[in-house]
Structure 1
Amino acid sequence: MTQILPKPFWYLRHGETDWNVKGLAQGRTDIPLNETGIAQAVRAGQTLAALFQNNDRPFDHIISSPLSRAAVTAIRVRDEIDRLAGITLPLRIEEDLSEVCFGIHEGELMSDWYHDWIEAGTSLENGESFKTLTQRAVAAVNQGLGSEGTPLFVAHGALFRGLRAGMNLSVNERLANAVPIKAQPKNNNWLLHMI
């Protein structure tokens, strides 16, 4: 299945890393958050904690990529929600939310090869195709949506492009670091709201 189940969910790309600043393709290379990225994760947690007012629960569990830039973002968000809203959310790691494997391009500047990979389906040497990424990302999100409640997924930028394909949205859209998004199905379409 390459379509996302029509159930609402939340999504958060990890905070900034030094490779983000330099415009380098991270992929599966486990680059940690920099100081700005940690501050972004805390701010995202504060923003999301504010939504837990009046017994409101916009989401009730967090599912994160295992790569440290996402997992640390998820932990910081969870901790801020606990600190400010007094709600401890379960957090689980999902391998299939890992970022795409860019193969030989990891550590390179994002350039024409990246756009060709998305738009033309160009294969990456020792890497993962956009089609394979999309199938893996959609399956992981659908598994999360199959459980009870509404999840917050914390993962990556290219992975979100695969999810956009699974929502029949334009895929080559850059996602900012640590800006929460609510994905809401409506009339066979998807609405994305940045918070």
Structure 2
Amino acid sequence: MKIGLIVGSLRKESWNKLVALTAKELFPEDVEANIIDISNVPLYNQDLDEDEPNENFKKIREEVKKYDGFIFFTPEYNRSYTPAIKNVIDVVSRDPEGSGFKKKPAAVFSASIGGFGAMAANHALRQSFIYVDLIPMQQPEVYLSKVQDLFDEDKKMVEGTREFLEKAVLSFVEHAKLINRK
């Protein structure tokens, strides 16, 4: 099984990217997990998708098709998820050959420096899954608040949070196996 990790913050020192990199280490050996780079996907514009679709649209669509499921990592921007995630969802779901997300398992792991762990962003993103036909993992819900305090000076996740994240990753693997069996 191959799982795509989509990080909504494009910032070089992104906390959500650090969470995703930690999660990547926690997958079982028989599951391949990779971060899907969404930083070069231009804003969706139907004019760029007409006769000959934009090259970066084609690349991200082909990349997404390689995966059996996805975990989205998002901070909270103005009580919602990031424009980068919104954009990649729009581009991939509007593929003339069919959405690369259709009927695939997904989860949202959100993190913020604030006290609510980007809960509003997490819920808003899960709501978007309904329209693009991603099948969300219901439990556990992953909201990491005060994420800056969850890593030591070497950027290693503190043990208690790492254990929680590992349980969430393993729960997602089970969810993905169940969905992909059908």
Is the structural similarity TM-score above 0.5?
Answer: no
Q: Larger RCO: Structure 1 or Structure 2 (Cα < 8 Å, ≥ 6 residues apart)?
A: 1
